[in-house]
Copies of this chain bind each other. A is one copy, B any other.
Amino acid sequence: MRDTADAFIEMFTLPGAPGGPLAGLTFGAKDLYDVAGRVTGCGNPEWARTHPEPDAHAPAVADLLAAGATLLGKTHTDELAYSLMGVNAHYGTPINTADPRRVPGGSSSGSAAAVAAGLVDIGLGSDTGGSVRLPASFCGLWGLRTTFGALSLDGAMPFTRSFDTVGWFTRDGETMARVAEACGCPAAPPPAGLVMPVDLWARADAATVEAAARSLAALQDLAGPIRPVVLAPGGLEDWRETFRICQAAEIWQTHGDWITAHAPAFGPGVRERFAIAASIDADTFAAADRRKADLRARISEVLLPDVVFVLPTGPGPAPLRTADAASLDVFRTRAFDMLCPAGLGGLPQLSVPSGRVDGGPVGISLVGPPGRDRALIALACAAGLGSIS
C-alpha cells in the first residue's frame, strides 16, 4: 500500500482515547517504535524477519494514543536509523512534498514526509544525531528533539546508550506545544537570553544564514539582543569526531551481535557506517567517551546561566535526490558539526521553518538547557517563528 508521500510502510487505524488533549489529531509512528501485534521493522527486512511481534505499545506511542491522537500507521525509517538522508535501499525514499526534488531527511523520514504531506498531524520520530531536527528543516516542519532521558524509549529499537531521544514533527507551533505537554514534557520557565555560536553559524550556507537572520530578528525583538560565542575553541572537528566515535561504538555494542549473526544486506552508506562502527576499538571509544565529558562541561559553561542557542538547523536545504556521494559527504560533515552539540549535551533542540533556499525549506533551531523543551516551543511561538519568510 502506498500513500501519496511514500511515507508509510504500513497503514491502519488505532483510535486515540476519546476526550484527550490531542483528540481529533492523527499521527504516524516511525517503524522503530513498537505497536502491539505488529512487527517493528526498523527499516531493514532482515530485522523484521528475525524479530517477533511485540505484545505492547511503546510508551511514546501509548502516550499519544492516551492523549487522544489516532495512529494511522507506521512510517519509514532509514535502516536501523543509521542515516540522515531518508534514503532506504529496501523501501525507497519518502517524498518530500515541500520540494519533491529533494530528499526528506532521516532517519525519521516517513514521519516527516507524512506530516509535510498532510497525511497526519503529528509524526513520532526519534533523534540520536539529528534524525528529527534535520528532516524537520528539510521538509519545512516544526521538529523537536526532546531532552535526553526525559521521555521513555522503552519499546523502541535501542540505538545508542547515550544519545537516543524521542521527537516529534508538526506543521505548526501550537500543535507542537500541545504534543509536548500531553506527552509529559514538564512546564519550563523562559530562558534568560539568546546566544549565537558563531562557529556553528559559519558552517551554514550564506542564503541559509540569511533566512535564519529573519527569524533571529523576531527572536531578538522578543528576547533581547543575542550574544555571540565560540562553542568549540579548539574547532568543531573534535566535537564531530567525538560524537561520531561514541555514537558508532555504542551502536555496535547494541547491534553488533545481531549483525554478525545475520549478516543482513544494508544499502550503500549504511553498510559502510556499520563496518566503521565494528572497527572502533575499546581504547578509541574510551578516549572519545572521556572527551565527551569535557565537551559536555564546555556546553554547560556556555549555556549558563540559562540561555538558548540559536543557529540554522542544517547547512542548507535538503540535498537533491540526485546528489552524488561526494557532495553528500561534504553536506553531512557540515550538518554533523551543527547537530552534534545538542547530541553531546543531551539538550533539547527545536527546529522551526525559517524560509526557503533554492526552493527547499530550511530551519532555524533553538537549543536549550535540559528540561526546557516547552520553553523553546513557547519562545518560538511567541516570536512568531515559522510564519516568517
Chain B: CB-nearest residue to A298: B206
Q: Is residue A381 contacting chain B, with contact meaning CB distance below 8 A? A: no
Q: For chain A residues 231-251, which have a beta carbon within 8 Å of chain B?
A: 233
Q: How large is the interface on A (under 10, 10 to 19, 20 to 34, 35 or more residues)?
A: 20 to 34
Contact partner of A198 (CB less than 8 A), chosen from B201, B207, B225, is B201
With A209-B230, A210-B230, A217-B227 known, 11 other A-B pairs at CB within 8 A are: A198-B202, A202-B230, A205-B233, A206-B229, A206-B233, A207-B233, A213-B229, A216-B225, A216-B227, A220-B220, A225-B226
Q: Which of A196, A216, A221, A225 is the most central at the interface, judged by chain B CB atoms within 10 Å of its CB? A: A225
A198 contacts across to B, CB distance below 8 A: 196, 198, 201-202, 209
Q: Is residue A212 contacting chain B, with contact meaning CB distance below 8 A? A: yes
Q: Is residue A228 contacting chain B, with contact meaning CB distance below 8 A? A: yes
Q: Supply 8 A–B pairs (Cβ within 8 Å), ascending by A.
A: A196-B228, A201-B202, A201-B228, A202-B202, A206-B233, A210-B229, A212-B228, A216-B227
Chain B: CB-nearest residue to A194: B225
Chain B: CB-nearest residue to A225: B220
Q: Is residue A103 contacting chain B, with contact meaning CB distance below 8 A? A: no
Contact partner of A202 (CB less than 8 A), chosen from B199, B213, B221, is B199
Knowing A201-B202, A202-B201 touch, does A209 contact B229 (C-beta < 8 A)? yes
List of 3 A-B pairs having minimum Cβ-Cβ separation, nearest first: A220-B225, A202-B202, A206-B230
A212 to B228, CA, bound (A): 8
A241 to B212, CA, bound (A): 29
A217 contacts across to B, CB distance below 8 A: 225, 227
